Structure 1
Amino acid sequence: MKRIPVVPTIIVAVAIAAMVALGLWQLLERRPQKEAFLAQLAANPTLPAVAFPRFSDETLLFRRSSAFCLEPVSITRAGAGAAGYRVIAVCRTGAEGPGLSIQIGTTRDPVGKVAWRGGKVSGWIAHAPDGRPLIAEVTQPGAPRPLMLVADRPAAGLNANTPPSLDAIPNNHLAYAVQWFLFAGVAGVIYVIALRRQARRVDQPE
């Protein structure tokens, strides 16, 4: 019986165990948490309006809210799929803390000037574009994302914003779990194949 290399086997076993643990974490912990979170978000549009939060609080997504924009500091565009572009104003509010982002409407014009001077805006709370890579969703699941107010009435010359939808909140934890389990399985198969090839080379006569 050929001896199995101890150190490489331990390393591979630890790596496989870690991948299986990550898969179980996604399946048994993160997935139920996300499902409970989505159930809460589904009920949020029917709850009373709240003041727009100064700091990120994802439990308030889709809640009705309002804010006052003293002055738009900048107006930018972000992709909105079939709607073209989301027009987002970053506002000065006069309060301490981060600036207020307001999605004031959508447009298909990628460069046209938007004339909006601010004022009171009502709508609902949503995620603001933050440019986080997909890997951050997996490696930093609890990291806060910036929020913005999505206006229920568009600024002059813009199209109305799309109402809040759970489709905008991904629930990929089952897929993540399957991926980790597959990685663990592939690692095990590759290591077994490597051991068999090594054993055949040892058995070959000089």
Structure 2
Amino acid sequence: MIKRLPIFVTILVLAAVATMAGLGIWQLQRADWKNGLLATYAAASDMPAIAYPAVPSAEDAPYFRKSTVNCLEVIGWRSTSGRSANGQSGWAHIAQCRTAGAEGPGAQVVAGWSERPDDPEWDGGIVDGIIAPDSQYIIRLVASEPVAGLQKSQPPALEDVPNNHLSYAVQWFLFAGIALIIFLIALRGRNKGVAQSGNLS
């Protein structure tokens, strides 16, 4: 049996299986880490307000914390699909603000919601709100009270934070198991072929 074992292929397959299993374990560790973060986020609404981060970190973003931004000047707008506080579909209007001092070089502020994507008229000001995830800038501040005649946007929810690590771990373990099974089936077929050839000789 050992003589019929393809050494190089075996090493290659086992290395691949070990790598995939290792990635699965890493994803499980990430799942534990993310669950801890989500527990922190769930309790964030009862925590004191913080200064808006100058340089946010995706690994430790202060989602769902109360904060305040002084929007010195609106230098741009972007409108994304969003919901109002009562759940109506429409547009969330995000102001790209120039800031200064401790608040850093800029901030994304969800000024409010409307049924149309047209940019509202707003020159800036102090905005209180809740820090939410942002796909482009990591975080944004959702205004607690809308400005420029807009309606209140739906506040951020825990569902806005992706947590797919457990499903990724299952996928990696499945990949590892499938690769190992395919290898064993191929090895068995190869050994049968070798045995039949030996019997014929």
TM-score (norm 1): 0.82
1:149 correspondence with 2:141:
yes
Once residues 178 and 149 of structure 2 are traced to their aligned partners in structure 1, the CA distance between those partners, rounded to angstroms, is: 55
Once residues 11 and 105 of structure 2 are traced to their aligned partners in structure 1, the CA distance between those partners, rounded to angstroms, is: 49
Once residues 190 and 84 of structure 1 are traced to their aligned partners in structure 2, the CA distance between those partners, rounded to angstroms, is: 50
Counterpart residue type for residue 7 of structure 2: V
Verify the 8 A CA contact 2:133 2:160 in the aligned structure 1. Answer: no
Superposed CA offset, 1:71-113 (max 9, x none): 1000011233763332111111134843211111123323x23
Compute the displacement of 1:201 (Å): 4.4
1:9 corresponds to which residue?
10
1:109 correspondence with 2:111:
no
**Rg (Cα) greater in structure:** 2
Q: What CA RMSD, in Å, does the superposition of the two structures yield over aligned residues?
A: 2.2
1:129 correspondence with 2:135:
yes
User: How has the CA–CA distance of structure 1 residues 193 and 77 changed in structure 2, closer, same or farther, with 3 Å as cutoff?
Assistant: same
Counterpart residue type for residue 8 of structure 2: V
1:86 correspondence with 2:86:
no
Compute the displacement of 1:153 (Å): 1.2
Compute the displacement of 1:59 (Å): 4.7
Equivalent of 1:159, from 146, 151, 172? 151
Counterpart residue type for residue 89 of structure 2: A
Superposed CA offset, 1:149-181 (max 9, x none): 110112234231112321111222221111111
2:43 corresponds to which residue?
43
Counterpart residue type for residue 39 of structure 2: A
User: How has the CA–CA distance of structure 1 residues 12 and 61 changed in structure 2, closer, same or farther, with 3 Å as cutoff?
Assistant: same
Counterpart residue type for residue 159 of structure 1: Q
Verify the 8 A CA contact 1:19 1:181 in the aligned structure 2. Answer: yes
How many equivalent pairs are there?
A: 190
Once residues 51 and 26 of structure 1 are traced to their aligned partners in structure 2, the CA distance between those partners, rounded to angstroms, is: 32
Counterpart residue type for residue 66 of structure 2: R
TM-score (norm 2): 0.84
Once residues 92 and 192 of structure 2 are traced to their aligned partners in structure 1, the CA distance between those partners, rounded to angstroms, is: 62
Verify the 8 A CA contact 1:40 1:59 in the aligned structure 2. Answer: no
User: How has the CA–CA distance of structure 1 residues 147 and 115 changed in structure 2, closer, same or farther, with 3 Å as cutoff?
Assistant: same
| Unmatched tracts of structure 2, length 5 or more | none
Once residues 61 and 77 of structure 2 are traced to their aligned partners in structure 1, the CA distance between those partners, rounded to angstroms, is: 27
Verify the 8 A CA contact 2:93 2:119 in the aligned structure 1. Answer: no
Specify which structure has the higher proportion of strand: 2
Verify the 8 A CA contact 1:31 1:173 in the aligned structure 2. Answer: yes
Worse-matched range after superposition: 163-172 or 177-186: 163-172
1:99 corresponds to which residue?
106
1:180 corresponds to which residue?
172
Once residues 59 and 148 of structure 1 are traced to their aligned partners in structure 2, the CA distance between those partners, rounded to angstroms, is: 11
Verify the 8 A CA contact 2:131 2:142 in the aligned structure 1. Answer: yes
Once residues 119 and 64 of structure 1 are traced to their aligned partners in structure 2, the CA distance between those partners, rounded to angstroms, is: 17
Counterpart residue type for residue 4 of structure 1: L
